[in-house]
Structure 1
Amino acid sequence: MIPLAALQQRYASLLPYLLLPLLAWQLDELPPRLLPAAGALLGVALWLHFYRQYRHVADTPTTTSQAAAQGYCECFGEAAALDGPPLVTPFGGMRCVWYQAERRPNGRQQRPQRSERLCSDDSFRLLDRRGEIIVQPAGASIEARHQRSWHDGDDVLSERWIAIGDPLYALGELRSLGGQPDRQAFRDDLQLTLNEWKQDPAQLLRRFDQNGDGTLSSEEWEHARQTAHGEVGRNHRALAAIPLSHHLQRPADRRPFIISWRSPQDTAGALRRLAWSHAACALLATLWLARGG
């Protein structure tokens, strides 16, 4: 899981730029151009990262569960839990559909203590006016609406979570399971079955070489095709009995997988502002570099 915190924590990526002048003042032994060059490179890299996310959010049309097409898409609705035991945050016991929690030492202990991080990867539902989509959050950048932190003895506990009923935006790869397969899927599965049978010629001959001459005649091959046709048909009828469900998950390629409580327009606007903030910081660092560091 790669959690993306609330909007204020998104802008925490700008904090390193504020540290550069302080480091330049305290570390006189560093080459004068090193820190501004590092700031410029960091700004360009983060501008490209967030601008890429912004373009994906802005350029991908919002779809509904009923009209959802296979592939990369975005959806907007509200969060709901799947059937089963309720999910709660581990420290505060808040009812939710997703959480990320951390226990870390407050720094007062004499002995170093390890931090503990917990994150749920359980699937949950995105409900819209037309139906539902199952969201599989593993690998997503997540912006949660709720977050809090508090002290517990020598530890600092923090949690953020998506609550039931929260607005829910999701951008990722959509896959549909169950339902009646189409004709192209039938043809593809028929060809796949025949290709699998061809990988074992001895078994293929034992099943369909009726005259035992060691080869398959055209009639025998047609019999094999009809047998494969029947097997694929039975499998597809079983699939048709399974209710159709849509699943949104991490794309197989490197396109962004984003979950947020903000609307598509607000999510795009936040990413755009963040991208250009990094571009402005990169420009300032370049001007600093041009002046000799």
Structure 2
Amino acid sequence: MILGQPWQIIAIIVVIALGSLYFFAHFFKLGRLIKDTPTSKIRSAAQGFVELEGIASQDHTPIPSPLSQRPCIWFDYRIEKRVQSDKSTSWRTISSSRHPGPLILDDTTGQCLIRLKDAKVYGGIRTSWMGNSPFPTSLSVDRQDSFLQFGNYRYTETIIAPGSPLYALGSFTTKRPIEGHSREGAMGSIIRRWKENYDDLLTRFDRNKDGKLDDKEWELVRLAAKLEAENMEQDLINMEDINYMDKASGQPLIVSTEDQRDTGRKFMWYALFFLLVFAGTIGYFVYIMKPFF
């Protein structure tokens, strides 16, 4: 049967071989990046592609995770329904969501906001359990650690808790709050805001009480706005720099709660697996092609 369909088999082999070769190169590159990129401190990190290690910090009260209500600063969940056919059983995802972030990495020398768009997040606290409703009930949550699990719905949730170890590899940028600030633009915004309450503007600056602002009174308005804009500018100068990590074009953004060595080894094991798949596929191709030579 195989030899009667050589071109179909060859097409499948080519797809598997190319796919496994791609994933081998992908995970091997990630493993090498983690191994070869030195860990930086936020305070002295260079602008560009860097590696950071610290803990997951928070600037707000932890949020309850959607399924188990555990306190966290990030979550990812999936709800699946059992689908039965005549010959097999499969699971169909009916709901899923992921917290958009950002995460805050603190390494004692500073903090960095990790923007999670296009990020690959690994690790965290993962739990999976079953139940009989499209959304987990408190009863099913209470028995999520039970050895005996049953039901037609499967719930999977991963969270990152405050204080968890945090590793990040991506594009690092430091921005000063004063950057992009324009004193003239700030003055214009302040005056426009004041004009929205014209009666209050008259109360403050209509010195001759004629119900309108003349040229000299408008000069007072502009002077007051200038002083407020200068105070705003000084506040921005005194603010701490803001550090970001994003995904740069052509480079990954990896976030993990695991030790960086464990994360790197995991990628190298993935790479080895796909290399073996590639080698096995090529070996099978040679085997089935022998009768043709």
Cα displacement (A) at 1:261: 1.3
Return the match for 2:29 from 46, 52, 65. Answer: 52
| Cross-structure match for 1:161 | 159
Quick one: distance in 2 between partners of 1:42 and 1:129?
42
Relative to structure 1, the CA distance from residue 179 to residue 68 in structure 2 (aligned partners, 3 Å threshold; closer, same or farther) is farther
Task: Give, in angstroms, the shift of residue 44 of structure 1.
Answer: 0.6
How far has the Cα of 1:29 moved from its partner? Answer: 8.9
Match of 1:171 in 2: 169
- Tell me, in whole angstroms, the C-alpha distance in 2 between the residues paired with 1:113 and 1:276: 30
Aligned-partner SS, 1:176:
strand
Deviation (angstroms), 1:54: 1.9
Q: 2:54 touches 2:166 (CA, 8 Å); kept in 1?
A: yes
Which of the residues 261, 266, 271 maps onto 1:275?
Answer: 271
AA aligned to 1:270 is: K
User: Root-mean-square deviation (CA), in Å?
Assistant: 3.2
Aligned-pair CA distance for 1:254 = 2.2
Structure 1 position 286 matched with structure 2 position 273: no
Structure 1 gaps, min length 5 = 1-23, 190-233
| Match among 245, 266, 278 for residue 248 of structure 1 | 245
Deviations 1:105-134 (A, max 9, x none): 12259xx97611111012221121322222
Give the corresponding residue for 1:43.
20
Give the match for residue 109 of structure 2.
130
Q: Contact conserved, 2:177 with 2:239, CA < 8 A, in 1?
A: yes
TM-superposed CA distance for 1:238, in Å, is 5.3
Query: Structure 2 matches for 1:72-221, cutoff 5 A?
Result: 72-83=49-60, 85-107=61-83, 115-153=94-132, 154-178=152-176
Deviates more, 1:171-180 or 1:118-127: 171-180
Percent of residue pairs identical = 20
| Residue-by-residue CA offset, 1:113-167 (whole Å, 9 max, x unaligned) | 7611111012221121322222222210011231111112142111011111211
Q: TM-score, normalised by structure 1?
A: 0.65
- On the 8 A contact 1:77/1:167 being kept in 2, the answer is yes
Structure of higher CA gyration radius: 2
Alignment: residue pair count: 220
- Which ranges in structure 2 are unaligned for 5 or more consecutive residues? 86-90, 133-151, 183-229
Aligned-pair CA distance for 1:81: 1.8
